[in-house]
Every structure is written in C-alpha cells, then in structure tokens.
Structure 1
C-alpha cells in the first residue's frame, strides 16, 4: 500500500504543472555532480533531487521505492529535470546481466555475470540482486557472482554498476526459474526441470512434461507459457503449440521409451459453483497410448480424496463444506509413469450477500507478502481480531502492464501449497481472505479491451488458484487518471478508467453475490473530486459509481495526504479528529463533483470503514492517536461531539458505521498491537447497528423498472421501461468481456411506459448483459442468446 505523498492542493498542483512545462520547454543539460544516485530503499521528500540512469529528477512529494524513470511526468511523483551533461562532468556507466540459462534445478550453483563499462571513467563495482535483495558485489572485471545451492522458486535478477564518480546504472531485469529436483514427466528427463503451472517461464525456457522436452516459444506475451487464461500445458490439449515447441523425447534412463498417460477432469466444469453440503461427482478421462491406465487418484487442494482403478474414472465427494477448492486427477500407467491433470476450481458458497457474511463491525488489515522493515508473519499466526485479511499485493507482470501475477514470498513460505493451506485455515475460522491489487509499486495500466481481458483472466486465475474470498482495489500512482474532456463520473471517457471497470465487471460476473469487493483509495482520488475533477483527483469516482452496488466496504486511506476540503468547504488536516469525521461524512452524505452538476451518491452506512496507519512508521503521515480517533468515532457514530471545528450534517451520527482498516497487520504487530487492541475493543462495545441489508438502489416507485423478454432470446429482444417521472436513463448492451456493443437508450426519458424492440440476429450465441444507469441506480441484467 502505500504511495506516500503530502501536498497543499492548489499550490502543489501549480508547482507540478509549472515544473512539467519547464521540463518540456527547456532541454538543457543538468549538473549532476552533487546529486545522489536514486536507490529503491531511499526515502525522498518533496523538492529532493537525485540522478538515475544519467537523468536528474526532483521529487514532488514523499516517495520510496518508486523508480524515477517509470514514475515521472504530469501527476507523477517525479519530475525529470533533464540529462546529466557537461556541467556534471560525469556520465553513468552501462550494464547488462546474463546467466548460462533461464531454467535451473534446485541445489544448483548459478553463475551470474555482467558486462559493464564507463565512457568517461572506470567501473568501480557491480552489485548483484535477486528479487531486490543484495547477493554480492564484484569490484573487478570480469564482473560475476556465484550463487550457490539455490532454492526452488522464481527470481528476478538485476545488476547495478557504479562508476569511479559514484554514478550508477541498474540493468534490465532477468527472470529465471529454479525448479524442484524431480525428473517426473513419465520418461527419463533428468537434467530438464518438470513443467509446473505458473512456473515463471520466459521465451527459451525448457521443461519436461509427459516424456518430452519443450521450449517456451518467443512470443511477446510469455504468459502463454504461464498461468494466465491463455496459458497452455506443453503437450496437452489442442493449442499447446501456440506457446511451446517440442524439442525432443526424453531418452535413456529407467524411464525408457514409455510414454506417460493422458488425463483430464471432465466434470465438474472449471469455476463451477456448488452449495454447501452437496455431493460433487468428479469424473476424469484417462488413456495411455503405449500401455494401460492402472488407476486415477483424485485430490482437492493437494489432499487425496480417493482412487478409481477402472474406467470410467470417478469419485463422489460428499458433504462439501464452504470454501474454494482446486481439484486435480493423477493417472498412473502400467509402467508407473504418471501425469497430473490441469486443475479445475470450484467455489462452495451459500450465495449470500457479502455484507451478511461479514460481522456487524469489521476490522480489516493488510498482510505483507514482503518485508518492508515491519517484519513478516505467516497467515496462520495472524491475530483473530481481524475479520478481513487483504493480501498485499497481486501486481502486473511488468510495471504499467495489465497481466497480473501473485506468488507467495519464498522468504515467508517454503511452498505455494503452504500458503494455500494457511488461506484455507483462516477461512475455516470464519475470516475473509482477499487479494489486493496494485499498491504503491504495482502500477496497472488497462488501456484497451485486450488489456481488460488480460487483467480479468489473470485475476480470475489467481482468485481461483488460492481460494480467495474476494478482491480489494488499491490502485495508486497513475493506474487511474482522468484525461482532458472527461467530466462526468457516470459516463467516463478516459481509457484507463473505462477498461478497468470493464475488467472488474468481467471478474465479478464470474462469481456469486457473496464475493467480497472492497476498495482502499487515497483521499485525492475520492474526496478530492469535490473541488477538482481531473488527473488523479476524483479518478476513483467512476469506478466506485459503477461498482457501488457490489462494494462490501470502502475504506479510504485517511493518511499520506494534505489538507482536504470537507462539505463545509473548510480544509482539514490528516491526523486530527476533524479529518476523520469530515472525510467520513462526505461519503455518507454524497457530494457535488467539480464540473458536474450531478452529485456523487452516498454510500450505505454498512459500506463505510476508515483507513489509518497502524504506527507512525507505517506511513509518511496521518498516524493518529487512538484516543483522538475514538473521539472522532463517538461523534461520527453516536453524535457525541468533542467540540471540534467540523459539525456533522446528520447531528445524530451514523450508527451503522462498519469498522476500521489499517496498513498493516505487520506494522500493528511491530507496534505492540496498538491498533487491533484499541479498535477491536471499541467496535465490539458498540450496540447492534441499525442498518438493514438489501438494495442500495434508489427507490424508483411502485411501477418503475425494466423488463426484458424473451430471455433466452434468438433474433430479437423487447425492452419495457417504466418511468414514474422524467429523468436521465442509460441502457447499454455489453458482451462477456464488459465491452459496450450497443447504446440502447441514453438521455432524458419522459414519464410513461417505453417499449422498444432491437434486432439481435447478428449477435453470436452466448451470454450478454444489459446495464441500466438511472440516477443513483446502476443495475446489470443477464441475457442468453440461443
């Protein structure tokens, strides 16, 4: 979480714009002789200057671990000042990194080498890093490092060269995979690592599978070899050759020429939903081209369910409990060669509203999949005071990309299965475990329909694989921004907003109503839209508006922010009781949006939580003493004033207020459990909330509504729209990817009954959606063409 920044709103915006214009107009070289080299661990405040890859930059606000080259420009944390030139008298060195391959076996020694040179001096040293951690440094050419006894895992290697004047350059990232030491695959493939799903493969990677050796093809999107929706297991299915090339059969050894069997699960279907207590009938198809299948074993989340020794291969799994499960089948042939099927995921839920599945008062905490100085903890050891645990973070495979990835940190978990077991353990305790996307370092750019598809498909795979209960949106930096001419949050026009919404709707359409969706935007992206709508200011509003009815919780980050306007047009500072109350009531009352006469609608009381740092070290600003926060909560919830400057519009308070969020569980432990102890006790002492669940949609009157028929349909559909009073209404037809196919109605609609027919003969068979926006109401209707 967190991009840390502080800004006096108008003054800093003007300064950033001025600096940007100067940068565009003046291309003079900069004297970098006195500028320190940027490092990922360094902490920089506004106006601090650094050099990076022979370019000078100036920080616009507080920042850490945000690469200047990737985070500079208008509305970004860094401003480029120009290239380092003769005034500095020094040019940065150049460096590239290499290894003998990209695929290794655990326990191997890996030699990492680097080519480095300096045009106006000498290279003093080259440091080698794996996943951002220093391995070692070599101060003489040829530059290399011998990494011994390497554990299994996926690694990102970089090399940083430093010259005799202290300038440094970091190489591009080299991804390598270290596989577990098993020769598997059904033949003798010793020396070539076995294929594993989500193996982190890149073009040129070689694996063994089903008795053969395959090489990942040289496609721009190496996700085709990995765990995206377009990934293919080598030698399996109809399309594996899109991603892999057959190199050779595995020869020699005890495996001989025996070919491993084929196996696939035919039932249930991937992503199937099952009610608790049901019996799941698992069926598999298995065959062996040069022998016979002796048995098929069935597993759920790696645990053996049972075996069948004769076709048709089946297993009846009875009384299935609530949870998410990965089912696999392993076929064994008459020469003991085995093959594991692709995983099939099922979700077992009661189909309830996500807010009914959450406690009356909720504590939300983020769990680090990394160590940023707070320390680490396994999920199984997380305090039971937390109701929702957000896993931080799923990130794009490349900065600014749309294809998402998540792998448990191997410094915390020895295996992916251990992490999955801990997720399942928390869920068995009644906790909700969500995957959070983005964070400070996970910039996501979804610019078009293809990006939206890549984003949604990879996130669905991640959610299914790990059994997450839902998704948390924590986009920061430039992930969401409003372009020129984008003035109406109800009808966004900026591609990064439009296509992110499409991707999210595709994800949500894959799950039931009990899927937990939350969001943790920064104040500028939400309340900032009250005074300014453009750039990052108000950029979350179209997303929150589109997904509002599916949102279980919104917990804006009440930290790392400057002065913010409340509904009384007074500016309040972070770290105060007034700030918590003013920012909270803005979401509970709704607010006008600059440049748009339509007000952003309020959230329900049960949807609102407040986000605060767990300790002074957890954020750049905004830590607030619990006694001050409790005063604010007493006023916001109970209407008991503390005598501050902000006066509640609803003087009696909002008794349905839902809870507290913190960054983070790890920092809470580091700070002696101050956050969880104080707010768990406070929330538990509150009386039962008065809110009632149900629709958040505007009451349109007794006769208002939309009917659609026939459904399923063939060549035409009739829409009957009943409107009790004149107002603006939008109806749009969308495909399964969330792409708008046709605008059916948009604009002021007169009072009365409106019937219309539209021809659907040109549509392909399959599922479609009609989206209706009517004032504060946003609703989606499913349609099926036969």
Structure 2
C-alpha cells in the first residue's frame, strides 16, 4: 500500500457497454471511512484493534500472506511479537467487538510487497476457499484486493464469485487499485470493476505515490490537488459504478506515502465537488453524482501518530 507506480499518463476511457444498473449483492451501508490496520511497525506505530477510533467503520487488516504449498491460497499471521504480545484470541475478540458496534473488518491481500497469483482455475478456487476459511476463523466480513503487481481480471472475478457463493450476500469486497490501474480499459482492475458491480462493495483508489495522471476529461492532473481526486474518481463514476461504490484513498500523514499527501480539507472539498458540484478546483463534473462511498486512508497506524487528525476531520464529513 505504501508504494505505487510512477508512470506517464495513459489514455482514459470508459466502456459504453459497461453495466450501469446491476444491483449489489451487499447492502450499501456506507459511507465508509476505511482505514488499514497493519500488524507491523513501518515507522508509525502498532496498536490493538480495540484502540481504533469509532469513526473508522471499515477496518482492513493488512496483510494476508501466501499459503505455502497452495497456489493462490492465503493465510494470516498476526505477528504478535511485533504487537507487544497481542494474542490471537484478543485479536479475534476485538474484531467481534468492533462488529458488535456495527463496524466491518476485512482481510486485505497484497500491499506494496505482497503478491498472490490468481491466474488459473486452480488458483482461483484456492483463493476463494482459503479466504472463506479466514473469514470463518477470524470473523472477517470479506476481502480487500490490494494487489499492486498486476491482476488477472478473469480469474480474480472467478475467485470472487466463488467466494461470494460460499460466503453469501453479506460478503464485502473492496479494492484499492493504483491510479494507473484505471487509465485504460485494458488494465486488470478496470476490467474487474466492470465485471463485478453486482458483488462489489467499494473501490478506494490510491490517490498517492502516483505522479500525474489523466482525468476523465482527458486533461493531465498532478497528485496532491483536489482536481487529481475528482477528475480521476470521475473515470470510475462514468464507468457505470454506483456512487456508493467509489471512495477516495489518501495517506493519513505525509510520512505515510512517498508523495500525494493532501490536507483533509482537500479531501472534503473533493467530496463536496463530486457529490454536490461545490468547492471544485478547475475540474467540475457535468452533474453532481450524489453521495459517494466514502474515504480510505493508509493507515490507521499512521493516523494514530497524528492524534487521529484524519479520522477527526473526515469522519464528521461522511457521517461515521
């Protein structure tokens, strides 16, 4: 999640045949303030799930690991040694307590250094089965796809649909693509989003570690600006996703990313622009989209180092 691709912008376009009105299998209970909780110290801090502020109503546990000997399979290692002796039972109890408050917890797959290959039927089946196993073991509500080394849209769709059949209609599926991933219809995340609107909960684009990218109007925008958020969120919104399936992903502090941090006030402006057509920069959508899916941050741990300033600013704006 920390590292992203720095790349020249590519042509952005939407598929006119994309699904536009497919109902979601999961109820739209957002908006979501999604925060990544990680079980390692990356210069920020570590904390138990029980310390996460209530404003974070969707917690993404980072990260799952490859399951040895099972291609496409995943597992999770708490790494309690890095968490001051935080035990598996405490972790499970804290997840259950957060859920009792009405919050959701998903297992995230990937990140900057992690990668899971789901590129054939066997790997797709293993991914679905082992993810469902983790949901049963820890109580996770679903899965977050944060694979930053490329995905095979065909077999990831196969895996997620198999998981949906196993887990049922309450399954949450979230994704955290990089900005490059929606710059052309040939890219895997772009294809996957078009394929699974009926089971997708939300896409939280990583609007950081990016460099400049094209917006839906064909203009180039630089990271760190309101326009960078609004003009690229427009790509997903015009693709046919519902507004509640589109979120904005930002680093909680400048230290949380290599570039692209923005003040929470800019994130609020971007939400105002997309939802109401107000407080825009140079880019303004042709028509306001109405309530979006919310905001994501990397990470809760980094936000903790800043007195939870990100959650304190964004939570009231989106109502979490």
Answer whether TM exceeds 0.5 for this pair: yes
Task: Provide the C-alpha distance between the structure 1 equivalents of 2:104 and 2:62, rounded to a whole number of angstroms.
Answer: 14
Does 655-664 or 451-460 show the bigger shift?
451-460
Instruction: Say if 1:446 and 1:510 are closer, same or farther in 2 by CA, change over 3 A.
Output: same
Task: Provide the C-alpha distance between the structure 1 equivalents of 2:312 and 2:165, rounded to a whole number of angstroms.
Answer: 37
Contact 1:400 1:444 in 2 (8 A): no
Unaligned runs of 5+ in 2: 11-23
**What whole-Å deviation, never above 9, does each CA across 1:226-279 have from its counterpart, x for those lacking one?**
xxxxxxxxxxxxxxxxxxxxxxxxxxxxxxxxxxxxxxxxxxxxxxxxxxxxxx
Instruction: Say if 1:658 and 1:446 are closer, same or farther in 2 by CA, change over 3 A.
Output: closer
Q: How far apart are 1:516 and its partner, in Å?
A: 1.3
2:269 equivalent to 1:631:
yes
Give SS of 2:289's match: coil
Instruction: Say if 1:648 and 1:400 are closer, same or farther in 2 by CA, change over 3 A.
Output: farther
Instruction: Say if 1:454 and 1:683 are closer, same or farther in 2 by CA, change over 3 A.
Output: closer
Give SS of 2:229's match: helix
Q: Which of 540, 547, 558 matches 2:207?
A: 558
Runs of at least 4 residues off by over 6 Å: none
Task: Provide the C-alpha distance between the structure 1 equivalents of 2:58 and 2:120, rounded to a whole number of angstroms.
Answer: 32
Task: Provide the C-alpha distance between the structure 1 equivalents of 2:309 and 2:296, rounded to a whole number of angstroms.
Answer: 13
Task: Provide the C-alpha distance between the structure 2 equivalents of 1:576 and 1:380, rounded to a whole number of angstroms.
Answer: 34
Q: Which of 395, 413, 418 matches 2:65?
A: 395
Alignment-derived partner of residue 285 in structure 1? none
Instruction: Say if 1:617 and 1:401 are closer, same or farther in 2 by CA, change over 3 A.
Output: farther
Q: Which of 278, 281, 293 matches 1:640?
A: 278
Alignment-derived partner of residue 7 in structure 1? 7
- TM-score, length-scaled by structure 2: 0.89
Output aligned runs, 1:356-755, within 5 Å.
356=28, 358-359=29-30, 361-397=31-67, 401-411=71-81, 412=83, 413-478=85-150, 480=151, 496-526=152-182, 528-529=183-184, 533=186, 538-590=187-239, 602-642=240-280, 644-650=281-287, 653-684=288-319
Task: Provide the C-alpha distance between the structure 2 equivalents of 1:583 and 1:400, rounded to a whole number of angstroms.
Answer: 37
Task: Provide the C-alpha distance between the structure 2 equivalents of 1:511 and 1:638, rounded to a whole number of angstroms.
Answer: 36
Instruction: Say if 1:455 and 1:374 are closer, same or farther in 2 by CA, change over 3 A.
Output: same
**What whole-Å deviation, never above 9, does each CA across 1:155-209 have from its counterpart, x for those lacking one?**
xxxxxxxxxxxxxxxxxxxxxxxxxxxxxxxxxxxxxxxxxxxxxxxxxxxxxxx
Structure number with the bigger relative contact order (C-alpha 8 A, sep ≥ 6) is 2
Alignment-derived partner of residue 15 in structure 2? none
Q: Which has the larger radius of gyration?
A: 1
Task: Provide the C-alpha distance between the structure 2 equivalents of 1:433 and 1:497, rounded to a whole number of angstroms.
Answer: 24
Task: Provide the C-alpha distance between the structure 2 equivalents of 1:441 and 1:382, rounded to a whole number of angstroms.
Answer: 24
Q: CA RMSD in A?
A: 2.1
Task: Provide the C-alpha distance between the structure 1 equivalents of 2:160 and 2:25, rounded to a whole number of angstroms.
Answer: 18
Q: How far apart are 1:637 and its partner, in Å?
A: 1.4
Task: Provide the C-alpha distance between the structure 1 equivalents of 2:189 and 2:69, rounded to a whole number of angstroms.
Answer: 20
Q: How far apart are 1:499 and its partner, in Å?
A: 2.2
Task: Provide the C-alpha distance between the structure 2 equivalents of 1:455 and 1:630, rounded to a whole number of angstroms.
Answer: 36
Task: Provide the C-alpha distance between the structure 2 equivalents of 1:400 and 1:622, rounded to a whole number of angstroms.
Answer: 37
Task: Provide the C-alpha distance between the structure 2 equivalents of 1:422 and 1:627, rounded to a whole number of angstroms.
Answer: 31
Task: Provide the C-alpha distance between the structure 1 equivalents of 2:256 and 2:69, rounded to a whole number of angstroms.
Answer: 24
- TM-score, length-scaled by structure 1: 0.37
Q: How far apart are 1:400 and its partner, in Å?
A: 11
Give the structure with the higher percent strand.
1
Give the structure with the higher percent helix.
2
Unaligned runs of 5+ in 1: 11-351, 481-495, 591-601, 686-786
Output aligned runs, 1:225-240, within 5 Å.
none
Q: How far apart are 1:584 and its partner, in Å?
A: 1.4
Give SS of 1:545's match: helix
**What whole-Å deviation, never above 9, does each CA across 1:96-118 have from its counterpart, x for those lacking one?**
xxxxxxxxxxxxxxxxxxxxxxx
Contact 2:252 2:299 in 1 (8 A): yes
Contact 2:32 2:293 in 1 (8 A): yes
Task: Provide the C-alpha distance between the structure 1 equivalents of 2:68 and 2:43, rounded to a whole number of angstroms.
Answer: 24
Q: How far apart are 1:564 and its partner, in Å?
A: 1.1
Contact 1:555 1:610 in 2 (8 A): yes
Instruction: Say if 1:9 and 1:654 are closer, same or farther in 2 by CA, change over 3 A.
Output: closer
Contact 1:390 1:436 in 2 (8 A): yes
Task: Provide the C-alpha distance between the structure 2 equivalents of 1:387 and 1:408, rounded to a whole number of angstroms.
Answer: 21
